[in-house]
Structure 1
Amino acid sequence: MKITLDVATSTPLTEQIVGQVEALILSRELRVGMRLPSIRKFAAEHNISRFPVIEAYDRLATRGLLQPKHGSGYYVAEQFEKAPRATRGLDAIRATPESDQILRQFERPDEVLNLSIGFIPEAWRDVEGIAQAIRQASRTDARSLIDYAIPQGDPQLRLQIEQRLAFVGVAAEPQNIMVTNSASEALDLVVRMLLKPGDTVFVEDPGYFNLFGLLKLQGIELVGVPRLSTGPDIEAVEALLIEHRPKLFFLNTVFHNPTGTNVAPHVGFRLLQLAQEHDFMIVEDDVYADFQAIPTQRLASLDRLTRVVYIGGFSKSLSSSLRLGYIAAEAGLVKHFVEVKALTSLGGTRFSERVVAALLERGTYRKHLERLRRRVNGAISTAVELLASVGWQVFDEPCGGTLVWACVPGVPNSDVFVAEAARSGITVQPGSYYRPHGEPTPWVRFNTAYLDNERAMGFLRRAAALGG
């Protein structure tokens, strides 16, 4: 087992061990059933105390990567072997990396730098503006501290969302809009309401790993559509439609996760034509909409919410703690979504809804977005220049958002970067996490907000050297 530990770095030995062993398992260098060195042997080989080894092995076992066997040692756990595509429900989600990746988003010790994280830095949030809105909501609507929101959402907030939708060209009235506890809940409601086990959907490849996990959990068959710089590959869509009959097509129109690209107008128009011809609906996930100063074409604006279900949210740009999203759709469909929401969660969080409504009504959110966009755009330009200067290739230069999709020419599988990053106390997710069935890929998702520092640059240089 090839592990290199650096006792001189500020990264704890436990974190170094966990990161490198995990990388070896995900890259299949450590196969299912293989026995790891004993704690005593590992500590002796690396001339370290047994305590960080004990803690590291315990963490890996808690995550399900290792299986302890009493009196025998630690072995690579069986659930990380690829399962057949026919596997359904919980077996399917346990057979793929999505569940582990979802949980790892929340492991953010101060000494670990996560370059693939989806969140913007805390310093970029308007904490004081949120605090003022909280005080206002507490004073003006004391019942919001204790009551549920109505299932469709606060009427004032829905009016504000209607105005934001109009800004991106989507014509909607309050009856077309419902507030959700997050954009993730919005996706979950769509899956619960419009799909059943065994149905087929089209998803983007690469795409959003949380969505892949959610669909697999419900026993849905995923068909990946290659994502180009202009959006889904239309030729591939047309070819796949000959073989498959999807119920839904999930996609990002603007600042696609993970490539940071936008759907070109001609691509969006053709997708809507195909949806009509082949009788499927499109779920337009637009959670990065507010990062865009000058709106580009949305499918929901072309379609007028006939075959498009539009999803947005405030977690990416405003607050992950307030956890609010929304759905815009045909009024009859919204009514059904509201019924499902009432059955699964009764109502929303009235307090969060009043706080966000206050931020929108007072103009606080608009001013925050102006500052945020300037920071985001500056970070993009810097990140693209930095990546190019050390030998990385960018899929396509983003025009907004925080994500960039990059690779090192000559390196066919980005799994190798995971261990390299871990040696410096850096977390990088392999690009396979962003593919529908975990297929290997040379690409990596980076958050441009975190690349401009010496630790990140050191890793990028060393990783680029792996391409020869």
Structure 2
Amino acid sequence: MLMKSATQSLTEQLAERYAERIRQRLLAPGARLPSVRECARLHGVSPSTVVAAYDLLLAQGLVQARKQRGFFVREAVSPRTDARSPSAAPQNMGPINATALIRGMFHRVSDKPQPGMGAFPPDWLESEFMPAAVRRVVATRALNDASLHYGEPMGDHGLRRVLAQKLASINVNAGAEQIITTVGATHALDIVSRTLLRPGDPVLVEEPGWSVEFARLTALGMRVLPVPRGPEGPDLGVMERLAEAHRPKLFVSVSVLHNPTGYSLSPGSAHRLLQLAQRFGFHIVEDDTYGHIAPEHATRLCALDGLQRTIYVSGFAKILAPNWRIGFMAAPPGLVEPLLDTKLLSTLTTPALLEKALAHCIEQGQLRRHAERIRARLDGARARSVKLAMAAGCRFVAEPMGLFGWLDTGVDTDALAQRLIDDGYLIAPGGLFHAVRQPSTLMRINFATAQDAAFWRVFSRRVAEA
């Protein structure tokens, strides 16, 4: 609740609260502010205070008023956007979007556990072996050698060698000469897109799916074609019709522990999917970001395909060291050079010192043991989070697996998200995981950060107010 202050009026406090959310893009361009009456109720102030606060936001150019519709966050104006036609304005933008979740990682809305985050809490990732590996590397000539040269274009050879061995353990056969290191898995996905696609090209994606990938492909000018994702895999009937009509160049898939549902691809669906790729001539990029916490028997397209029409992408930000920014891809031999050219144009090379440290962690078995500890801890957190969610009246629409839970709250989660920000919680509403934004009662939770009973008490109160 807002409190009277000697330095700031209630009006100024309320205006600043919304201004800060807009600056941090927790309220995206096009998002509608609560109605005057609703805002007054939420913050315990009079309607006249809300009107005055919204007037301040108008004066600052942060919002615009639309007759008989309310107040909306203004689209930022730049020299490039001035000449754009009204029809080019973003459509279906909701109050919490992909970049809002990313920004929430850096500008937290509070110190409370955030159920909408997409990563493990930092204290889960702490270890003694990572700093020791870095000290080991910098104590050798490698520090001087790696600092004075750009390094190997494809990435540190020692790391690529141990990555090839690691891939062999999940039946993905790729030599070190087929592996390229990147600045995180997202960079690898970007390299693939920029190599294989041109603006306007159609791309098949899973829906629900990773909101950041939708936003990235859209920003590159691609035509995003959603394919419904179910427990067995993508809807192959829909995929076949889309492939027949649009002749896509690429399909982006999370086969194992899919985000946000937790589904994993079945062997039968994988075989039929590869047949469609062969028939229609599109490539598949398989994002195995969550493979470190997946069951050993999980089905991967790259293992079945032998890296013919598939490209394998993964990284270590989720399981080990987010700020090391080490990812990689394993590609068919004929695509290695084009993909490498794109990497060189975007980053030249990748930092060899941390790649050498990571190679040591993998070779010594430290990453494997660390991942086992994380999986065991996650199992306990998942059980507690599921119990709390169900007690709060939620229903899981997918069997709880992996890091994320996909559940039905029974209320509009876009509206719920804005209420919960006032309480210091950032959630991931269901509409965020659709290529075209639409109202949804679904929500993705992070099992590692949703085991806080205090959050579910606040959640239940806000749902009751809806």
Distance (Å, rounded) in 2 between the aligned partners of 1:126 and 1:418: 30
For the 8 Å contact 2:57–2:63, the answer to whether it is kept is no
Distance (Å, rounded) in 2 between the aligned partners of 1:419 and 1:126: 32
Alignment of 1:321-340 (within 5 A): 321-340=323-342
In the alignment, what sits opposite 1:245? 247
CA displacement at 1:295 relative to structure 2? 3.2
Under a length normalisation based on structure 1, what TM-score does the superposition of the two structures give? 0.82
Alignment of 1:59-78 (within 5 A): 66-67=62-63, 76-78=72-74
For the 8 Å contact 2:29–2:74, the answer to whether it is kept is no
CA deviation vs aligned residue, 1:295-336 (integer Å, no higher than 9, x gap): 311000110001111101111100110001110111221121
Distance (Å, rounded) in 2 between the aligned partners of 1:452 and 1:27: 33
In the alignment, what sits opposite 1:422? 421
Q: Which segment drifts farther, 284-293 or 379-388?
A: 379-388
In the alignment, what sits opposite 1:79? 75
In the alignment, what sits opposite 2:283? 281
Alignment of 1:267-416 (within 5 A): 267-399=269-401, 401-409=402-410, 411=411, 413-416=412-415
SS of aligned partner of 2:324: coil
CA displacement at 1:14 relative to structure 2? 8.4
In the alignment, what sits opposite 2:143? 142
Alignment of 1:51-200 (within 5 A): 66-67=62-63, 76-79=72-75, 97-108=97-108, 110-140=110-140, 141-143=142-144, 144-200=146-202
For the 8 Å contact 2:400–2:406, the answer to whether it is kept is no
For the 8 Å contact 2:200–2:221, the answer to whether it is kept is yes
CA displacement at 1:360 relative to structure 2? 1.0
Distance (Å, rounded) in 1 between the aligned partners of 2:211 and 2:345: 26
CA displacement at 1:446 relative to structure 2? 0.7
Aligned amino acid, residue 424 of structure 1 = D
Distance (Å, rounded) in 2 between the aligned partners of 1:27 and 1:443: 21
Change (3 A) 1:363 1:36: same
The unaligned stretches of length 5 or more in structure 1 are: none
Distance (Å, rounded) in 1 between the aligned partners of 2:301 and 2:309: 9
Give the alignment's Cα RMSD to 1 decimal.
3.8
Aligned amino acid, residue 403 of structure 1 = F
CA deviation vs aligned residue, 1:338-359 (integer Å, no higher than 9, x gap): 1221122110011111111111
CA displacement at 1:420 relative to structure 2? 2.7
Change (3 A) 1:421 1:77: closer
SS of aligned partner of 2:454: helix
CA displacement at 1:416 relative to structure 2? 2.0
Distance (Å, rounded) in 1 between the aligned partners of 2:110 and 2:267: 42
For the 8 Å contact 1:178–1:328, the answer to whether it is kept is yes
Distance (Å, rounded) in 2 between the aligned partners of 1:226 and 1:68: 36
In the alignment, what sits opposite 2:9? none
Change (3 A) 1:350 1:330: same
CA deviation vs aligned residue, 1:118-155 (integer Å, no higher than 9, x gap): 11011111332211111011113223345433110111
For the 8 Å contact 1:136–1:358, the answer to whether it is kept is no
Distance (Å, rounded) in 2 between the aligned partners of 1:230 and 1:280: 21
Aligned amino acid, residue 107 of structure 2 = E
CA displacement at 1:45 relative to structure 2? 3.6
CA deviation vs aligned residue, 1:75-131 (integer Å, no higher than 9, x gap): 634439xx9xx99xx976997844444333322255344211011011111332211
For the 8 Å contact 2:259–2:404, the answer to whether it is kept is yes
Q: Which segment drifts farther, 454-463 or 224-233?
A: 454-463
Change (3 A) 1:24 1:164: closer
Distance (Å, rounded) in 2 between the aligned partners of 1:164 and 1:46: 61
In the alignment, what sits opposite 2:447? 448
For the 8 Å contact 2:109–2:426, the answer to whether it is kept is no
For the 8 Å contact 2:413–2:441, the answer to whether it is kept is yes
Distance (Å, rounded) in 2 between the aligned partners of 1:15 and 1:369: 43
Change (3 A) 1:75 1:424: closer
Q: Which segment drifts farther, 279-288 or 436-445?
A: 436-445
CA displacement at 1:436 relative to structure 2? 1.0
Change (3 A) 1:318 1:77: same
SS of aligned partner of 2:349: coil
SS of aligned partner of 2:439: coil
How many residues are matched?
Answer: 436
Distance (Å, rounded) in 1 between the aligned partners of 2:247 and 2:446: 35
Change (3 A) 1:15 1:114: farther
Distance (Å, rounded) in 2 between the aligned partners of 1:364 and 1:379: 23
CA displacement at 1:458 relative to structure 2? 1.0
The unaligned stretches of length 5 or more in structure 2 are: 5-12
CA displacement at 1:162 relative to structure 2? 0.8
Change (3 A) 1:24 1:286: closer
CA displacement at 1:27 relative to structure 2? 9.2
Distance (Å, rounded) in 1 between the aligned partners of 2:232 and 2:351: 37
Does the alignment pair 1:213 with 2:218? no
Under a length normalisation based on structure 2, what TM-score does the superposition of the two structures give? 0.83
Distance (Å, rounded) in 2 between the aligned partners of 1:229 and 1:7: 49
CA displacement at 1:161 relative to structure 2? 0.7
